[in-house]
Amino acid sequence: MPEFSGCEEEPADSRLLDQLTTGLVRLDRQGKVALMNSAAEHCLLVSRDRAKGARLRDLGVMPEELLMAVVRGPQGDESLRLHELKLGGGWFDCTIRGLENEGVLLEFHSLEWERRRLRLQQREVQTGMLELLSRNLGHEVRNPLGGIRGAAQMLADELETGELSTLARLIMRESDRIDELIESFGQPELDRQPLDLYPLLDEALDLLVAEFRESVSVERDYDPSIPPIQGDRSAIRRVVLNLLRNACQAGATEVLIKTRVEHSSALMQSGPGSVIRLDVMDNGPGVSESLQPLLFLPFVTGRRDGTGLGLALSQQIASAHGGLLTFEALDQGSLFTLYLPFTNGTGSNHEGELH
C-alpha cells in the first residue's frame, strides 16, 4: 500500500488507490478528511470533493460506534477493528490505524460477498430440508393416505347417495388435496423456455389487483434493457404472485415491483455473467424479528391461516433456476429480492429440477 504522508498524493498514486476495492479515508490531526479513494465514495455515498476538509460526523448518518472509535483513536502501533457497520453503501468492517502524527487511516472492507455467500449456504440448507421433507412425507403420509382414500371410495360406491356418501366423497377430495400438496415438494422438471419477464409480471399484478381491488396501490419500475431469459413461466409467476400476495395479506397498501440488471456476480457464479434483480417492496408491518432468520424454512409463518410453504417453495424454484430469493427488513415494510442469472441475454441452457 502506498505511504500516506502529509503532502498531496501524486495523480499516479491517486489512480492506484482508486483501483482498490477497499475504501480508504485519511483523517488529518484535526479529524478532517484529507483523502478518499473511489471505493470510499461508494462506501459512504459521498463524493471526495464534498468530503475533503469535512469532519466524518458531517458526512451524513454515521454509526456512533465509528465516530467514538475515531475520537479515541488506536493506541501506538495497534489498530482498531469494528465489525458490521451499516453505512450508506451497505455493510462494512472498518480498521482504524494511526499514521504517526498524520492523523488516522480508515479502511472499509465490504461484507457484501460474505453476506451473499452466507445467503447461498442458507439456500442450500433450505432447499435440502424441502427435499428431506418430501421423502419423509412420501413414505410416512402417502401410504396410509392411499388406504384412507381407498376406503372412502368403497364407502362412496356402496352408499351412492345421501349424507354419508357426500362425506365419503369429501374425504376423497381432501385426500387428493393432501396428495397434491405432497407432490409439490417433489422434483418436477422445469419447463425452460425463452421468457419475456414483463408480460409475466403484469399478469401477476393484474391478478393481485383483481383479488385485492382498491385496497392496494401497485407501482412498476421496470428496467427496459432486460432481455428474455430461459425459465419456467409458471414457476416464476408462482414466486412473484406469492410475494405480492404475502405483502397484501400482511396489510400492505402500497407495493412496488422493480427490475434491474446487476453486472457484478451477485450469485458468485464463476466466469462472466449478470443477474436480473427483481424487487418486491411493500409498506406493510414487516416481519417480526424472531421469524426473519427462519423465513424460507418450511412451515414457518407469521399468519394464523398460513401454511408456511409459500416462501420455502419459492426459494426452491429460485434455486432450481440457479437463482436466489432474499429478504431485507425496511424501516417500514419488507423487501424481497429474486435474483435470476442470465448469460449473453439468453440465460442458462441447462435443464433443471426442483431440489
With 60 as the cut, is the pLDDT of residue 354 above it?
no
Examine the domain organization and report whether 200 and 319 are in the same domain: yes
Domain assignment present for 347: no
Residue where a domain terminates, one of 110, 133, 168: 110
* pLDDT cut 70: percent of the chain above it: 80
pLDDT tens-digit readout, 3-34? 444 444 446 677 888 888 899 999 998 889 99
Euclidean distance between CA atoms 334 and 272, whole angstroms: 31
Examine the domain organization and report whether 315 and 194 are in the same domain: yes
Residue where a domain terminates, one of 110, 138, 155: 110
pLDDT tens-digit readout, 278-319? 999 999 998 888 888 888 877 777 777 666 778 888 888 888
Bigger pLDDT: 212 vs 180 = 212
Examine the domain organization and report whether 283 and 195 are in the same domain: yes
The neighbouring-strand residues paired with 327 are: 336
Domain assignment present for 183: no
The full DSSP string for 226-286 is PPPEEE-HHHHHHHHHHHHHHHHHTT-SEEEEEEEEE-S-TT--SSS-EEEEEEEEE-S--
Examine the domain organization and report whether 64 and 206 are in the same domain: no
What integer is the mean pLDDT of 261-288?
A: 77
Examine the domain organization and report whether 331 and 229 are in the same domain: yes
Residue where a domain terminates, one of 49, 75, 110: 110
Domain assignment present for 149: no
Residue with cell string 502501533: 77
Angle subtended by helix axes 142-159 and 163-183, to nearest 10: 150
Euclidean distance between CA atoms 237 and 93, whole angstroms: 38
The answer to whether the beta carbons of residues 193 and 347 sit under 8 Å apart is: no
The pairing of strands 254-262 and 217-221 is: parallel
> In the chain, how long is the greatest CA-to-CA distance?
98
Looking at residue 54, its pLDDT comes to 92
- Of the pLDDT bands very low, low, confident and very high (cuts 50, 70, 90), residue 102 is confident
What integer is the mean pLDDT of 76-84?
A: 83
Euclidean distance between CA atoms 203 and 205, whole angstroms: 5
Euclidean distance between CA atoms 19 and 7, whole angstroms: 21
Angle subtended by helix axes 142-159 and 112-140, to nearest 10: 50
Cα–chain center distance at 8: 42
The domain of 71 spans 11-110
Domain assignment present for 173: no
Name the most confidently modeled range: 27-36, 267-276, 341-350: 27-36
How many domains is the chain built from? Answer: 2
Looking at residue 215, which CATH number applies to its domain?
A: 3.30.565.10
pLDDT tens-digit readout, 141-194? 777 878 888 888 888 888 777 788 888 888 888 888 777 766 666 555 678 889
SS3 208: helix
Examine the domain organization and report whether 193 and 105 are in the same domain: no
CA-based nearest residue to 102, from 51, 2, 34: 34
Count of beta carbons in the 10 Å neighbourhood of residue 340 = 26
Euclidean distance between CA atoms 158 and 151, whole angstroms: 11
SS3 95: strand
Query: Across all residues in the chain, what is the average pLDDT?
Result: 81
Domain assignment present for 248: yes
Looking at residue 62, which CATH number applies to its domain?
A: 3.30.450.20
Examine the domain organization and report whether 199 and 69 are in the same domain: no
Q: Where are the alpha helices (DSSP H) in the chain?
A: 11-18, 38-44, 48-51, 64-72, 112-140, 142-159, 163-183, 197-212, 233-249, 310-320
Domain assignment present for 133: no
pTM for the full predicted model: 0.61
Rounded to the nearest 5°, which phi and psi values hold at 205?
-70, -40
Rounded to the nearest 5°, which phi and psi values hold at 329?
-80, 135
Examine the domain organization and report whether 203 and 333 are in the same domain: yes
Q: Determine the Cα angle at 329 with ends 328 and 332, to 5°.
A: 135
Domain assignment present for 33: yes
* pLDDT cut 90: percent of the chain above it: 29
Looking at residue 5, its pLDDT comes to 45
Rounded to the nearest 5°, which phi and psi values hold at 283?
-110, 25
Domain assignment present for 178: no
Examine the domain organization and report whether 316 and 200 are in the same domain: yes
